[in-house]
A and B are shown apart, each in its own frame.
Chain A
Amino acid sequence: MPQLEQVEFFISQLFWLGVFFVILFTVLTYITLPKIRAFLNQRDDFVKSHISKQDELIKKAESIIENYEAKLTEAKNQASQIINDAKDKALKESEGLIKATEEKIQHEIKQTEERVAKEKDTAISELNDQLKDSATNFLSKVTNIEKGNINL
């Protein structure tokens, strides 16, 4: 087995192992690893700062949403109030209109009735007069009494 037979190279192997291990260890410790760590830390810091910023923005957004919702409910209330007012007003107006129309109709009915009654009266009295005239005529002819002397 060369590992145990080539004893003459033991010192060479140990020497070069030492040299390269020390070089590797030193460069890694003082140059490479700090660089990697700095890079990772920088990114972590960036991410962390953005997360805190994000939290702030979320809070802001939440307050804005609350504000918006409050305003929205207020607006809704106002709107429903306006609608109710309008409904009441419309109802009142239409009621008034109906009443006025009914009164007018009633009034006209009354007038018409009065006119009809008057006309009826005049018609009856005229008829009476004519009847009287024709009865007087008839009687004067039959009895030869002058018209002026007949009193019915």
Chain B
Amino acid sequence: MAKGESPLKQFEIQPIVDINFLGFDISFTNSALWMTITTAFILIFFTVPFLKAKKTNSVSDLYPTRMQVAAELGFNFINSLLADTVGKEGKKYFPLVFTLFMFILFGNLFGMIPYSFTFTSHIIVTLALAMGVFIFVTVLGFVKHGVKFFSFFVIPGLPVYMLPLLIPIEIISYLSRPISLSVRLFANMLAGHTLLKVFAGFVSALGFFGILPLVFIIALTGLEILIAFLQAYVFAILTCLYINDALHLH
């Protein structure tokens, strides 16, 4: 980072290829580039190890390769996550949760590479993902329960005179789901990356004593990688919980 550069400069969108479609600016930017890399990586990582899988019954063909074990790990992780929160009915929504988790996870992780770009640090991206989940879950609730879905806002076993107070609260909490979901991810990414950049500025500013913030940055990078995983996990598990709510109401 050059001196005097803002720690927020890393979040700037830079167009790589200017594209204009029907008056809309859909330029291919650095954000889009890292989405491409993330998508390509996920597809390669999870598809290629299984391309050669033959239908045989000899034991040696059933030994998973290292790459297959790694891919299975992700598969089983989301599988058990969905089974624990939603149960057997959750299998239908496995691809959605899997895609969300992997997209956010590798978006976060690739963002940790120096000079890369973290597309999950943009509120518009996380909000779009969260709104997608929110709309999907709401539609799912109405499809499954019809008008009965509104009973979701009525907590059972409550005295009637409390309802006028609690129904609006429930509705507000429901509507704020996409905001909390998106802001949580966005703010974590923003804060982590900003903190890293600020301390990176100290390294050059302090001269010899810059070794202290450097050590701190190394530790912080480890923490950020943990947070990258954690936030993807939180996003995925909340999606699972919302799906569970939509399927089972209360």
Contact = CB atoms under 8 A, between A and B. Distances in A.
A39 B53 contact: yes
Interface residues of B, number: 53
Interface in A33-60: 33, 35-40, 42-43, 46
Contacts of B119: 13, 17
Given A13-B122, A13-B125, A39-B68, A28 B43 contact: yes
Contact of A20 (B26, B35, B75, B94): B35
Contacts of B75: 33, 36-37, 40
B2 to A, nearest CB: 17
A15 interface: yes
B46 A2 contact: no
Q: Is the interface of B mostly helix, strand, loop or mixed?
A: helix
Interface size class of A (residues with CB under 8 A): 35 or more
B145 to A, nearest CB: 25
Interface stretch (A4-12, A71-79, A117-125, A137-145): A4-12
Nearest to A33: B95
Given A17-B125, A25-B99, A40-B75, A11 B26 contact: yes
Contacts of B152: none
Interface of A: 1-4, 6, 8-18, 20-21, 23-25, 27-29, 31-33, 35-40, 42-43, 46
A15 B35 CA distance: 11
Given A20-B35, A42-B62, A28 B25 contact: no
Given A20-B38, A42-B62, A28 B72 contact: no
Contact of A14 (B8, B57, B64, B128): B128
Contacts of B62: 42-43, 46
B108 interface: no
A3 B124 contact: yes
A137 to B, nearest CB: 129
Contact of B13 (A2, A25, A46): A2
A40 B72 contact: yes
Interface string B98-116: 1100110000000000000
B28 A16 contact: yes
Interface in B207-250: none
Contacts of A43: 62, 64
B39 interface: yes
Interface in B59-107: 59, 62, 64, 68, 71-72, 75, 94-96, 98-99, 102-103
B32 A12 contact: yes
Contacts of A24: 39, 42-43, 99, 102-103
B99 A35 contact: no
Contacts of B35: 16-17, 20
A20 B43 contact: no
B53 A16 contact: no
A2 B12 contact: yes
Contact of B29 (A12, A21, A27, A42): A12
Given A28-B98, A33-B98, A46-B57, A12 B27 contact: yes
Contacts of B125: 13-14, 17
Contacts of B50: 32, 35-36, 39
A4 B103 CA distance: 22
A40 B94 CA distance: 15
